[in-house]
């Protein structure tokens, strides 16, 4: 698969990201990071770029760990459970759609 490249400038540092992921996806990730960095910069006025980066990184990792715990407690379910849930949702949508078109 071809590698996509995205040139970014974050906190005064320029770099090029190479990934097999879609360019739009990469732009979403960079956009999210920029928003989070800006939140931290505003909250930690006067902090240098390294401190802003570290604080933001810790906050994002905290979110990740909390989400993993939440998903783990809820349970992702087996493939069969997920498939059955999707079938039920599709059936509901089709049923609603057929009711509307009558």
* 11 Cβ contact list (under 8 Å, min separation 6): 37, 49, 52, 53
Position 101 in a domain: no
How many domains in the chain? 1
Round to whole Å and give the CA distance between 23 and 4: 6
Name the pTM for this structure. Answer: 0.67
The pair of three-digit structure tokens given for residue 84, joined into one six-digit string: 């059955």
Confidence category of residue 1, pLDDT binned at 50, 70, 90: low
Position 83 in a domain: no
Tens-digit pLDDT profile for residues 73-101: 666 567 777 788 888 888 888 877 666 65
Position 55 in a domain: yes
Position 86 in a domain: no
Tens-digit pLDDT profile for residues 11-48: 999 999 999 999 999 999 999 999 999 999 999 999 99
Position 99 in a domain: no
Domain that holds residue 21: 4-77
The DSSP code sequence of the chain is -PPEEEEEEETTEEEEEEESS-HHHHHHHHHHHHHHHHHHHHHTTT--HHHHHHHHHHHHHHHHHHHHHHHHHH----HHHHHHHHHHHHHHHHHHHHHH--
Position 89 in a domain: no
């Amino acid at each position: 698969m071809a590698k996509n490249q995205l040139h970014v400038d974050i906190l005064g540092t320029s770099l090029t990201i190479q990934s097999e992921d879609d360019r739009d996806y990469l732009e979403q990730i960079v956009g999210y990071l920029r928003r989070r960095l800006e939140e931290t910069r505003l909250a930690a006025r006067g902090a240098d770029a390294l401190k802003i980066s570290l604080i933001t990184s810790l906050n994002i990792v905290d979110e990740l760990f909390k989400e993993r715990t939440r998903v783990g407690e809820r349970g992702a379910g087996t493939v069969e459970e997920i498939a059955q849930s999707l079938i039920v949702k599709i059936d509901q949508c089709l049923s609603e759609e057929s009711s509307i078109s009558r």
